[in-house]
Amino acid sequence: MNKKYVYAFSEGDGKNKQLLGGKGANLCEMTQIGLNVPAGFVISTEACLTYLADEQHRLPEGLIEEVHQQIATVEKNSGKGFGNADKPLLVSVRSGSAMSMPGMMDTILNLGLNNNTLPALIAETGNERFGYDAYRRFIQLFGKVALGVPDEKFDVHFEAVKKRSGVKADVGLTASDLKEISGLFLDVVKEHTGRPFPMDVYEQLEISIKAVFNSWMGKRAIDYRREFKITPDMANGTAVNIVEMVFGNMGDDCATGVGFTRNPGTGENLMFGEYLVNAQGEDVVAGIRTPKPVHHMGEEMPEMHSQLETLRSKLEAHYLEIQDFEYTIEKGILYCLQTRNGKMNAAAMVRTSVEMVKEGLINKEQALLRVDPELLEQLLHPRLMQNIKVQPLAQGLPASPGAASGHCVFDADRAEILGRSGEKVILVREETKPEDIHGFFASEGILTSRGGKTSHAAVVARGMGKPCVAGAEGISVDTQQRIAVVGEVTLKEGDFITIDGGTGDVYLGELPTEEPEFSDELKILLSWADDIAELKVMANADTPDAAQKAVEYGAMGIGLCRTERMFNATDRLPFMVNMILADTTEEREEALAKLRAMQRQDFKSLFKTMAPNPVTIRLLDPPIHEFLPTEKELEDDIDNLEQVRKDINGVAVLLSSLRLLRPEVKSNPENTVLPFNEEGKTLVDEAIAMKRHMLSKVRELFEVNPMLGHRGVRLSVTYPEIYEMQLQAVMEAEAECIKEGVSVHVEIMVPQVCTLQELKHVKRYVSATKERIEARNNLTLNFKFGTMIEVVRACMRAGHLAEEAEFFSFGTNDLTQATFSFSREDAENKFLPLYTEKNILHSNPFEVLDIKGVGQLMGLSVDWGRQTRPGMKIGICGEQGGHPESIRFCHHIKLNYVSCSAPRVPIARLAAAHAKLTESGYVVTERVQEVSS
């Protein structure tokens, strides 16, 4: 018996998206829950894969027979006949894979029309215009998709007839115009393919099924899957949906539209969408005619509007998710053609999550799991400064929020080239098509002069979280000339514009933007996340400003303060340099005293900002030569200064001769010339001497492998006074806070530790300083002493280190470097991209924690550390600490906290809740995968 490849809508398993594709599964599910769906069936993705695997691209055995049987059932149910010259059945042939890939694969409509069935359709509907309109659409779409005839070949004829008839919009064309166009189109196909257009309806169907299967391997689809990281286990092959055609273009009691059950831009609980009376679905999506917002239907077709509202409620109640649906009204009957989870931007996702909980549709756990943590990044997108008062150049529809500036570019290929070379570009088009997708990826934002909020440009941009202004009809785009004209203004390729996808405004030039603030809904959602998560989320923050930002993002403390960053400020660096260059202990102590005072102030301010939450101060880590210029810079400086000295001497000689000739020019007693007196010369000489001194220090400090060199705790052995200074500053700051009644929770952390002896060495300074400061201030300090675990040996000796260390923090940047022997400075620019491209590594280990290697070391260290010190506090502060997948692992090995850069804190908070929920058996729904793709 042959394998089953075809499923009627009444029998297919609505949950099996892998087999039936998202669209097919939903058509089955909608049919089975009693929604009014046109009759039809699905050919499985298995059939697609079998077909593609066959070298001769033959349809799998038995498939066509199954298709014939299903067509017979549809014929029976609809009372129509496929290829029948009395009551013809027309079908659509639609692609649909397990993951939504809007517009990336092919679809054919009105299939079943030919020279025999067309008159019957006309007779049946009594509408000749409608018949020829359907026919010409079918010939063009079939010609393009199934036979590879370029659109332009059809468009020339279409435009010529329109021009001759003096009509602007397609609706102005008469039946005889469309009849003529159909004839011309049939000729185009014959000319291009060398064969007449196929009139056999089953031949049409077979060719179309193959074309849809082939589109899975088309360039657009492949590019899309690569960009959105859609792997075969997420979607493998496309299904083909064969659905009885219903017509939205049979007259004024017909319409077609697309809708969202809630507003996908804002999340507002109002039906959102657009429709066109007397039109076919492709007109709405392709942006060929500008549609009307759905609330207009309330006045224009009130009964249909109320049926749509009922449909919206039924869809949400069943799917417990915002739906993006397509519908057609044929002579007063509403058909739902498709539904899928609506793609939304982050703001809408968050708002709908919170509101659906309040409405009792879903619970908090489901609400949290709906939102992909990475998606929150979108909420950090810049928007135009609120107080900007600039007249927009043009206005369109606010199709995807966020503001972006860039150079205008009028085609996707140019956008890709410029975008890749690092230019900021805005893709400006009349309307976009799926084949423009590569241009989207490369652009900061998208601007179109035609189409609505559900046009291709809008949907794709929203999915990508890129700003988009659509349907800015005041702009006329000329792709040939590479210009866009807006009234008096002509935008040329390369001109800078700014678009605001939140308002639909388009501006000339680059406007300043500002960070958005957290919405109340996001605060609520993240507070639910905090209630559920076991991991605490800390921030890596080094300055009081960064600490303030971290608090705003909800950080529960500072998990890593890299104290060296405090020395890099321009007003501090000279003291650090003086300290390094000091020849005598007195000189060094003088410089250190200045640094201590500054650090004390910084620490105090960090402690106060974060109080009562913990602040982990890490003692100096980088090699100290990093505070000095490079050898090359110093050599160049010295060369330049010597040249200056020569020039000064030359001018001095010149002025000196001048003095001989012109005795009135005064000279100084040493016979040098006044304008270039001793002081001027001394400054240059002094500068040269200082640079030479630095140069010799730089040469002395030179290391072949600085990342494996004289850094971290090793500095405490060679320059103990630096760590002493820092310890003193931390403890003095703590003492001052205690005196001021501020509740502080200080942790002192040592970097690069690999032996217990190193920790004991630092601990001696810690104890001595503590005693001194406690005695001086007559109080008790209360801090924790701990270590970074970022050296492989430290992992192996974690049980011993825990004798001295009260906490561990995994420095997974260095630990990854050490585990792979990949330089963290170079690997990412050199070979790592190729490693991931060639699948040698599944991801960049400096971004996503390498669970199998680095993670294994971490797991062992946690076990050994806690064997020595039960309940020991352990966290991570490497970059991977802000990455959701890594956070799940950190939860799994029972770390207490993750620490990441402040803007990643909200993402980490949500990811920490996800980690707990998925561990407890909650399943991350397809919604999450879909949005994260």
Q: Does 621 bind ligand PEP (CB under 6 A)?
A: yes
152: part of which helix (H) or strand (E)?
helix 151-165
Candidates 29, 283, 747, 814; binder of ligand PEP (CB under 6 A) is 814
* Contact criterion met (CB below 8 Å) for 861 and 786: no
Residue ranges in 194-296 assigned as alpha helix (H) = 201-215, 219-227, 281-286
| Segment interacting with ligand PEP, rule: CB under 6 A, options 35-43, 161-169, 282-290, 809-817 | 809-817
For Mg ion, give the closer residue by CB, 544 or 811: 811
Selection from Mg ion, ligand PEP, none that 314 binds (CB < 5 to 8 A by kind) is none
User: How many residues make contact with ligand PEP (CB under 6 A)?
Assistant: 10
Parallel, antiparallel, or unpaired: how do β-strands 403-409 and 425-429 relate? parallel
- Identity (one letter) of the amino acid at 115? N
Selection from ligand PEP, Mg ion, none that 560 binds (CB < 5 to 8 A by kind) is ligand PEP
Q: Does 878 bind ligand PEP (CB under 6 A)?
A: yes
Output the smallest distance, CB 213 to ligand PEP, in A: 48
List, in sequence order, every beta strand (DSSP E) within 807-859.
Answer: 807-810
> What are the residues whose beta carbons fall under 8 Å from the beta carbon of 923, sequence distance 6 or more?
369
Q: Does 560 bind ligand PEP (CB under 6 A)?
A: yes
Output the smallest distance, CB 790 to Mg ion, in A: 5
For ligand PEP, give the closer residue by CB, 419 or 811: 811
Output the smallest distance, CB 882 to ligand PEP, in A: 12
For ligand PEP, give the closer residue by CB, 26 or 752: 752
439-to-104, 224, 422 alpha-carbon distances in Å: 14, 12, 14
- Identity (one letter) of the amino acid at 804? E
For ligand PEP, give the closer residue by CB, 181 or 753: 753
Parallel, antiparallel, or unpaired: how do β-strands 783-789 and 807-810 relate? parallel
Output the smallest distance, CB 599 to ligand PEP, in A: 17
For ligand PEP, give the closer residue by CB, 214 or 563: 563
Q: Which residues pair with 787 in a beta bridge?
A: 750, 808
Backbone dihedral angles phi then psi of residue 339, each to the nearest 5 degrees: -150, 150
| Segment interacting with ligand PEP, rule: CB under 6 A, options 358-366, 604-612, 808-816, 859-867 | 808-816
Candidates 36, 605, 667, 813; binder of ligand PEP (CB under 6 A) is 813
| Segment interacting with ligand PEP, rule: CB under 6 A, options 345-353, 453-461, 599-607, 805-813 | 805-813
Output the smallest distance, CB 909 to ligand PEP, in A: 20
Output the smallest distance, CB 857 to ligand PEP, in A: 13
| Segment interacting with ligand PEP, rule: CB under 6 A, options 153-161, 246-254, 393-401, 811-819 | 811-819
Selection from ligand PEP, Mg ion, none that 602 binds (CB < 5 to 8 A by kind) is none
The Cα–Cα gap between 808 and 877 comes to: 10
Selection from ligand PEP, Mg ion, none that 562 binds (CB < 5 to 8 A by kind) is ligand PEP
Of 397, 416, 390, residue with least CA distance to 497: 390
The Cα–Cα gap between 901 and 550 comes to: 8
Q: Peptide bond preceding 196: is omega within 30 degrees of 0, i.e. cis?
A: no
Binding site membership: which residues? 562, 618, 790, 811-814
Q: Does 594 bind ligand PEP (CB under 6 A)?
A: no
DSSP state of 673: B
The Cα–Cα gap between 711 and 752 comes to: 8
| Segment interacting with ligand PEP, rule: CB under 6 A, options 285-293, 511-519, 633-641, 812-820 | 812-820
**Cα–Cα–Cα angle for 535, 539, 545, nearest 5°?**
155
Selection from ligand PEP, Mg ion, none that 697 binds (CB < 5 to 8 A by kind) is none
Q: Does 812 bind ligand PEP (CB under 6 A)?
A: yes
Output the smallest distance, CB 619 to ligand PEP, in A: 12
Phi-psi region of 160 (alpha: psi -120 to 50; beta: other; left: phi over 0): alpha
For Mg ion, give the closer residue by CB, 560 or 638: 560
Long-range CB pairs of 144-152 (<8 Å, 24+ gap) are 145/106, 145/107, 145/108, 145/208, 145/211, 145/215, 146/108, 146/204, 146/207, 146/208, 146/210, 146/211, 147/189, 147/192, 147/193, 147/207, 148/192, 148/193, 149/188, 149/189, 149/192, 149/193, 150/192
Selection from Mg ion, ligand PEP, none that 258 binds (CB < 5 to 8 A by kind) is none
Classify residue 163 by burial, with Cβ atoms within 10 Å: 0-12, 13-18, 19+.
exposed
Parallel, antiparallel, or unpaired: how do β-strands 536-540 and 558-562 relate? parallel
* Contact criterion met (CB below 8 Å) for 899 and 875: yes
For ligand PEP, give the closer residue by CB, 141 or 791: 791
The binding site for Mg ion (CB under 5 A) comprises 790, 811, 814
Binding site membership for Mg(2+): which residues? 790, 814
The Cα–Cα gap between 47 and 923 comes to: 29
Please confirm, yes or no, whether 68 is among the known catalytic residues. Answer: no
Selection from ligand PEP, Mg ion, none that 66 binds (CB < 5 to 8 A by kind) is none
Give the tokens for residue 362.
Answer: 């879903």
Q: Which residues in the 519-558 window bind ligand PEP by CB under 6 A?
A: none
For ligand PEP, give the closer residue by CB, 307 or 901: 901
The Cα–Cα gap between 215 and 237 comes to: 10
Please confirm, yes or no, whether 795 is among the known catalytic residues. Answer: no
Candidates 324, 790, 804, 850; binder of ligand PEP (CB under 6 A) is 790
Radius of gyration of the chain (CA): 35
- The catalytic residue among 28, 737, 795, 877 is 877
| Segment interacting with ligand PEP, rule: CB under 6 A, options 82-90, 300-308, 806-814, 911-919 | 806-814
Output the smallest distance, CB 885 to Mg ion, in A: 21
Q: Does 562 bind ligand PEP (CB under 6 A)?
A: yes
Which residue reads 């001018």 in tokens? Answer: 651
CB atoms within 10 A of CB 583: 8
- The catalytic residue among 305, 456, 625, 883 is 456
Give the tokens for residue 407.
Answer: 């150079």
Binding site membership for substrate: which residues? 562, 618, 790, 811-814
Q: Does 811 bind ligand PEP (CB under 6 A)?
A: yes
> What are the residues whose beta carbons fall under 8 Å from the beta carbon of 913, sequence distance 6 or more?
368, 528, 529, 530, 532, 533
Selection from ligand PEP, Mg ion, none that 273 binds (CB < 5 to 8 A by kind) is none
The Cα–Cα gap between 814 and 812 comes to: 5
Output the smallest distance, CB 810 to ligand PEP, in A: 7
For Mg ion, give the closer residue by CB, 45 or 787: 787
| Segment interacting with ligand PEP, rule: CB under 6 A, options 491-499, 729-737, 810-818, 838-846 | 810-818
Establish how many alpha carbons lie within 13 A of residue 779's alpha carbon, considering only the half-sphere containing its beta carbon: 15
Selection from Mg ion, ligand PEP, none that 878 binds (CB < 5 to 8 A by kind) is ligand PEP
Sketch the per residue contact string, 170 through 209, with ligand PEP: x for CB under 6 A, - otherwise: ----------------------------------------
307: part of which helix (H) or strand (E)?
helix 302-319
For ligand PEP, give the closer residue by CB, 475 or 537: 537
* Contact criterion met (CB below 8 Å) for 42 and 19: no
For ligand PEP, give the closer residue by CB, 431 or 790: 790
Output the smallest distance, CB 814 to ligand PEP, in A: 3
Output the smallest distance, CB 621 to Mg ion, in A: 6
Selection from Mg ion, ligand PEP, none that 330 binds (CB < 5 to 8 A by kind) is none
User: Catalytic positions, please?
Assistant: 456, 877
Give contact residues for ligand PEP (rule: CB under 6 A): 560, 562, 621, 790, 811-814, 877-878
